[in-house]
Structure 1
Amino acid sequence: MKHSTVSLARKVKFYQLVVFDQIVASGSLVKAAGALNITQPSLTKIVQELEYFFQAPLLVRGNRGVTATELGELISRRARSMLADLRALNDDVEAYRRGTSGYVLVGSLTSASMSAIPQALHLVKQRAPSLLVSLRVGQMNQLLSVLQVGELDLVVGRIPDDWGWRANVGDLAVVPLYHERLCVVAGRYHPLHSLPTSPWNLMHAYPWILPPRESVLRNSAENIFAKAGMAPPADFTESASILTNLALMQDNQTLSLLPSAVADPFVRSGMIKEVDVGEHLAYGQVGCFFAAHRKREPSLSLLVDCLKKVSQTTAPGDSAFSPAATLSIINH
């Protein structure tokens, strides 16, 4: 008699296969009953139910115990395969609950993707090697838009001073991480490096690289120029490409304003040098953004914990870190 998959699933219980596999492995009903902590009559009933369904003997009883028939061995072999998958499923579920497996989609500004996020990912991989993190770098307004519709789980970026810049941002939850500063940089042999302190009015004579107009960094740059009493550069190139910006600065004439986390590795390598402007240029606070209406999965919470730990113990790009604050809700 041929059984359909549906009828097999209805009639044969998974627990019956677990019991049968234990009997075959033990070679004894008594030992199997002890291992499973059930009575021998209950064990015998399960075997009889399986034999009735398959309409054939599954065990041969002898003086030294029981052995599987050819059909019984086939069923036992298949049962072991399914049990292995069940154990794997159980392990995966437990790992998911602990946050040590899963898939997290993260959006980030360039500054965070070059400092806090790489350090946090090292911690994540130590705690959860199976957790996959996919990173997308972009502008803040673009990243928050896709965060709202669920294409990202998390965005790491600067917390705006005025939330009016993004009228449709919706309800967001944010965990502040650390404070970032900005720095003026140029090629190693730029003339301004020879001055003890570089007056802002001298910088206007040189070409600049400025962030795109729609970026948060561009707004910060314009505020810094205004505070310093410097007219906005007349000769400038708009670029968000770090590699392009580095190449442009090799003329030892072009200036750029970068987050310290972005500039620092290239300053240490000798490709560019920070211009001494005689003051601290605050960029603002960087944090983790969430869609407030969505539940945070354990894997996402693990990544956030690692970001908070990095922010509290390390200072990439000479950023002045502050302890991460309690999760707050921003409503609009």
Structure 2
Amino acid sequence: MAHHANSLGRKLRFAQIIVFEQVLRSGSILRAAQELNLTQPAVTKVIHELEGHFGGPLLVRGNRGVTATELGELVARRSKSLLAELRHMTDEVNAFQEGAAGQVLVGTLISASAVLLPRAIQLLKARAPAVVVTLRVGQMDQLLPALSVGDLDLVVARIPDDGSWQGKLPGLEAEALYAEQLCAVGGAHHPLASRNATSLAEMLAFPWILPTRDSSLRRTAERLFFEAGLGAPSNVVESLSVLTNVALMLDQQTVGLMPRTEAQQFAEAGMLAILPLAELPGFGEIGCFACSGRVPAQAVTLFRACLRDAATQALRGMPT
């Protein structure tokens, strides 16, 4: 059955799309009804109406609740984009009525969030205090798909060197903000901190914190030991939790790797020392990912400008 955009546009209502999206999010018609303050029959009726509009079943009921059919997945993907546009339109109309307002949904990796994001948020709040910034921390394989369907407005992270993300998610663009260096760190009074130089071989004698195996930083670390002709450290904790890692290094023995701008913050606070290790590669470019096909809301555009300003300040080594 061929659909014409105008006829579908006349039949479809945003309220129906909101209901459908909530059912998939909840995985259950009953839970969706509770979330939306509707009765279960009302939600079922909306789903039947949508299935009539699209000419096929959108949901399949299993023992784990409801999931989308192949047609349902297609409709869900576009629904997320429509709802993201609706959210942006609401934000922009509110901003027009009240001055700059709205919401920015930002995904980030822990390694990219220590300096750049707090500074960018401070700059945004100085310019537009009413904008709500919501942060979601995850790995790239969770964040980029969420960005491409409109669940996130921006992702701030290290841009992978291999460009593999472009093939998987062709609608996304990345803007490089600054190049980050990698450095070795330990407690402020670590035995190696007062030395003029040290080597990876010397550092192997100490307990190490390595990034978890699913992170790109872990591959960088492993390549580092391999290229130096060394085996991996034997005494290891695997962690991406910045707070835990800093606390572990306060034993003045444990060492690890950190992006330099992040390490400098802790060094200035007197908690960590940057160890004099020369043979470290660059961490890579920290950038901002966005969906190229979507017209960004005013708050999102403003936040991107704040990210650029924060990156310029980070490059100058200004205190944040």
- Would the aligned equivalents of 1:186 and 1:249 in 2 still touch at CA under 8 Å? yes
Residues 293-308 of structure 1 mapped to structure 2, 5 A cutoff:
293-308=293-308
State how far apart, in whole Å, the 2-side matches of 1:159 and 1:138 are.
15
Distance 1:188 1:297, change over 3 A: same
CA offset at residue 150 of structure 1?
Answer: 1.9
Partner of 1:145: 145
State how far apart, in whole Å, the 2-side matches of 1:317 and 1:224 are.
26
What is the SS of the residue equivalent to 2:182?
A: strand
- Would the aligned equivalents of 1:261 and 1:316 in 2 still touch at CA under 8 Å? no
Distance 1:268 1:293, change over 3 A: same
Partner of 2:49: none
What is the SS of the residue equivalent to 1:101?
A: coil
What is the SS of the residue equivalent to 1:198?
A: coil
CA offset at residue 135 of structure 1?
Answer: 1.2
CA offset at residue 201 of structure 1?
Answer: 1.0
Unaligned runs of 5+ in 1: 1-89, 320-332
Higher mean alpha-carbon deviation, 166-175 vs 119-128, is at 166-175
Once the two structures are superposed, residues 61-111 of structure 1 have per-residue CA deviations (whole angstroms, 9 ceiling, x without a partner) of xxxxxxxxxxxxxxxxxxxxxxxxxxxxx9972734998221110011224
State how far apart, in whole Å, the 2-side matches of 1:202 and 1:95 are.
57
CA offset at residue 274 of structure 1?
Answer: 1.1
Once the two structures are superposed, residues 2-40 of structure 1 have per-residue CA deviations (whole angstroms, 9 ceiling, x without a partner) of xxxxxxxxxxxxxxxxxxxxxxxxxxxxxxxxxxxxxxx
- Would the aligned equivalents of 1:184 and 1:257 in 2 still touch at CA under 8 Å? yes
Partner of 1:162: 162
What is the SS of the residue equivalent to 2:282?
A: strand
Partner of 2:119: 119
- Would the aligned equivalents of 1:212 and 1:238 in 2 still touch at CA under 8 Å? yes
Distance 1:234 1:92, change over 3 A: closer
Partner of 2:128: 128
Unaligned runs of 5+ in 2: 1-89
Q: Percent identity?
A: 44
Higher mean alpha-carbon deviation, 166-175 vs 101-110, is at 166-175
- Would the aligned equivalents of 1:187 and 1:251 in 2 still touch at CA under 8 Å? yes
Partner of 1:235: 235
Residues 139-288 of structure 1 mapped to structure 2, 5 A cutoff:
139-164=139-164, 168-279=168-279, 281-288=281-288
What is the SS of the residue equivalent to 2:219?
A: helix
State how far apart, in whole Å, the 2-side matches of 1:264 and 1:91 are.
37
Of the two, which has the highest radius of gyration? 1
CA offset at residue 297 of structure 1?
Answer: 1.8
Distance 1:206 1:152, change over 3 A: same
The residue identity in structure 2 corresponding to 1:154 is: L
Distance 1:276 1:98, change over 3 A: farther
Distance 1:283 1:252, change over 3 A: same
- Would the aligned equivalents of 1:115 and 1:317 in 2 still touch at CA under 8 Å? no
What is the SS of the residue equivalent to 1:186?
A: strand
Distance 1:251 1:167, change over 3 A: farther
What is the SS of the residue equivalent to 2:131?
A: strand
The residue identity in structure 1 corresponding to 2:117 is: I
CA offset at residue 134 of structure 1?
Answer: 0.8
- Would the aligned equivalents of 1:209 and 1:245 in 2 still touch at CA under 8 Å? yes
State how far apart, in whole Å, the 1-side matches of 2:286 and 2:271 are.
26
Distance 1:267 1:128, change over 3 A: same
CA offset at residue 316 of structure 1?
Answer: 7.3
CA offset at residue 275 of structure 1?
Answer: 0.6
Residues 302-321 of structure 1 mapped to structure 2, 5 A cutoff:
302-315=302-315
What is the SS of the residue equivalent to 1:191?
A: coil
Give me the TM-score of the superposition, normalised by structure 1: 0.62
CA offset at residue 190 of structure 1?
Answer: 2.1
Distance 1:275 1:128, change over 3 A: same
